[in-house]
Amino acid sequence: MSGALFQWGVPIPFAILIVLGCVFVLVSGWRELSVVEPVRRRHILRFLRTATALIGALIALQPSWFEPQVSAMKGQLAVLFDHSRSMTVGYRSGVRLDAVEAAARAMGKEGFAAPLYAFGDEAVPISRAELVDSQVNLRDRTDLTASIRSVLDEDVDRSLGAVLVVSDGSDAAALEAAQSLRDYGVRIHTVSVGGDEVLNDDSIRSVDADPIGFLRQEGVLRVTVRSAQPSRSTIPLTLRLGEEVLRETQVPLNALGEGTVELPFVPQTLGRNVYRLTLGLTPEDSVPENNERYVLIRVLRDRLRVLLVAGRPSWDVRFLRAFLKRDPAIDLISFFILRTGSDLTMAAPEQLALIPFPTDELFREHLGSFDVIVFQNFDYGPYQMAMYLPQIRNYVRRGGAFAMIGGEQSFASGGYGGTPVAEILPVRLPSSDAASEHLLDSRRFRPKPSTEFAAHPIVELQRDAISNEALWGSLAPAHGVNVIAQGLESSQALLVHPNRNDETGAPMPVLVLGTYERGRTLALAIDSSWRWGITTGGLLGDASLYDRFWDRALRWLARDPALEPSQITTHRERYGIGSTVRVSARLRDERYLPIVSGQIRLSVEDGSGALQKTLMVSSDREGRLHAEFPAPSEAGGYRVIAEVQRGRRWRTLGEEWFVVELGGDELADPEARPDVLKQLSLETGGDFFSDWRSVGPLRSLNTKRVTHVKQLRVAPFRSFEMLLFFGVLLTVEWTLRRRWGRP
């Protein structure tokens, strides 16, 4: 009565009262009949009393249930052959996949025609010739349930009656999902491959690691290994980054041959780091592919380390410093320059509350530890810093970030023209010898977004371009600006002056972004951006614009991936050799506008930068593209790079890392699982075969499809016959009690 639905004919409270009444009748009746003699008559009367009470209670309760009515119709047979990576494990004199080829040949000799599929994580149609000639690509993993379900879902005319699955069953998750396949009404026959083999295998079973690591902070890899060699009590394990050995250890094994160890590691470089785990390989190892695993860790900064150097206290300094201190993701080191080393004092240095600016310590010893350096209205001259300016230039060249904020001691007014800092700025400064009125413009103005870069996230405060320009026009005006000769050709002028031009006649840039070799730079030529917060809040009721602006500016300087113009991803992080890598990307140029091109180049490089393959693709109107290619033929870490042609050069738009493994999760546990296949057959009314040779002719397999026609309601105590039977029992009991002396 599987799937039957049981119901009572009366509400639950009434059912409880009826049951209690039945119990009362039984208890009182048994006591009443306890004096009847002889004992045989007592037993007969008690039996009749019990039967009468139970039948009466069931008639009152009216229990019923629904039983499905099914029909069985002969259907077609489909055959699914496992082509996952676990089928390459050694079996008898060859590999498990040889059993698939043998089955395909046997089908040809039998002359039985049936739809054929190859499957791993999904099922795809295939010809018998491709099976015999081994022309099927291997899949990275086995998903029995999803593969079978995909074939059944495609059977829209419900012509399939049975499915024959030839597999090693290496999908433990299918045990839990087997019952869900029963609802299709299609029988699943299974043939086990490799179920009678014994593997002598050492393997890395699993690697647990947080996919995100933090720069110069310890992370942990939790590694579980297993050895099928009973003589081993330990197994050697090595952790490498590239070719550098980071850890070597002996993993102790328990009585089952399993062991778990935690390996600490400390990332030293930002970006994707590829770690490699290897076991010591023995000649008798059945599956050497699972002795190596790769782990891809994305290394980020735990906290953004910012150095803020301000020439003097001001509202602009106060608001920026408060914003940086308020953000828990920022580690701020700030200096207000209130005293120089040449200041005359009447006390010893150790007795002064204000210390001299520690230029040597900051710019010679700790400069590389900062992610962003900000000079805010700071004149380097009085602090003997000329010798350290080349250090700042080299810091940016190596990948650092530098920002200069305006004021009477910044840009040309601070004497930076012609210095190494001027080399890295994204603007060209006027001569520092010019009159002060040519270096500073004290008039109020509202900077406006440039038309070319209005979509840049730093200045795109509203999605709609017209609304965004109107919002910038409603902000509190800036008080003065440092004069900029012009922006560099390679720079991006995000904000410009509304009525002042530079030396080229173009609107003078106010906020400019640029790059210097591997680093990034920002120039903001005003010292009153704080008015976009509290003052604008009083005007518009929204004081968050200041925080939003500086949050995005710092994230852009620190190369936050979320603010990069182009994003490229692979559909998985790890692949097997020869499997299909699928790439998706959203490509935008430096103006954050979609790149629409039929000449996008995707390049695949290994960890050393050696080119592995290239392919040309095109993007749609939104700058999106999709592509796929076979994974490289050697294990390791790889990156796919998207490039667009600009003139005769190719410019990199974005990149993403992925890993290629010999074994991966599929071969971590290479044992065949005939119990999984047996359960699939048991749940669906199919047959299980331990070997293809025991299958027999395919025409003999049961291919009757079970179809549910309707639900039949069964209510045995609602009939006239049951009432008549109850009356007869009651009459017999009453008559015997009267005859045997009990009224």
Name which of 522-526, 577-581, 622-626 the model is least confident about. 577-581
Segment 398-415, tens digit of pLDDT: 999 999 999 999 999 999
pLDDT of residue 74: 84
pLDDT of residue 114: 86
Name which of 570-574, 581-585, 611-615 the model is least confident about. 570-574
Q: Mean per-residue pLDDT for 425-435?
A: 83
Q: Mean per-residue pLDDT for 518-523?
A: 96
pLDDT band per the 50, 70, 90 thresholds, residue 5: low
User: CB count, 10 Å around CB of 151?
Assistant: 23
User: CB count, 10 Å around CB of 490?
Assistant: 10
Instruction: Count the helix, strand and coil residues of the chain and give each as a percent rounded to the nearest 5.
Output: 30, 35, 35
| Residues in Cβ contact with 106 at an 8 Å cutoff, skipping those fewer than 6 apart | 692
Angle at which helices 39-61 and 720-739 cross, to 10°: 150
Q: What residue ranges in 460-595 does DSSP mark as E strands?
A: 478-482, 486-487, 492-501, 507-516, 519-524, 567-570, 574-576, 580-586
- Percent of the chain residues topping a pLDDT of 70: 93
pLDDT of residue 464: 86
C-alpha pair distances (Å), 5 with each of 67, 460, 527, 672, 714: 7, 60, 77, 39, 10
C-alpha atoms less than 13 angstroms from C-alpha of 314 in its C-beta half-sphere: 23
How far is residue 432's CA from residue 453's CA, in Å, rounded to a whole number? 29
- Among 66, 64, 7, 5, smallest CA distance to 712 is for 66
Specify the pairing of strand 401-405 against strand 478-482. unpaired
pLDDT of residue 104: 84
Model confidence at 351: pLDDT above 90: no
Segment 480-500, tens digit of pLDDT: 999 999 999 989 999 999 999
Q: Residue 90 burial by CB count (10 A; 0-12/13-18/19+): exposed, middle or buried? A: middle
Specify the pairing of strand 292-300 against strand 212-214. parallel
User: What SS3 state is found at 221?
Assistant: strand
How far is residue 743's CA from residue 736's CA, in Å, rounded to a whole number? 10
- For residues 67 and 728, the model is more confident at 728
How far is residue 409's CA from residue 340's CA, in Å, rounded to a whole number? 15
Segment 601-649, tens digit of pLDDT: 999 999 888 999 999 999 999 999 999 999 998 999 999 999 998 888 8
DSSP collapsed to 3 states, 52-120 = HHHHHHHHHHCCEEEEEEEEEEECEEEEEEECEHHHHCEECCEECHHHHHHHHHHHHHHCCCCCEEEEC
- Among 137, 132, 297, smallest CA distance to 212 is for 297
**Residue 667 structure tokens:** 């071969």
- Among 174, 277, 290, 278, smallest CA distance to 667 is for 290
pLDDT of residue 353: 40
Query: Taking a C-beta distance cutoff of 8 angstroms, is the pair 587, 623 a contact?
Result: yes
Phi, psi of 636 (to 5 degrees): 150, -175
pLDDT of residue 486: 93
- For residues 255 and 403, the model is more confident at 403
Model confidence at 501: pLDDT above 70: yes
pLDDT of residue 360: 72
Segment 707-729, tens digit of pLDDT: 654 566 777 878 788 888 888 88
C-alpha pair distances (Å), 17 with each of 107, 258, 463, 723: 66, 59, 68, 21
Model confidence at 3: pLDDT above 70: no
How far is residue 580's CA from residue 670's CA, in Å, rounded to a whole number? 22
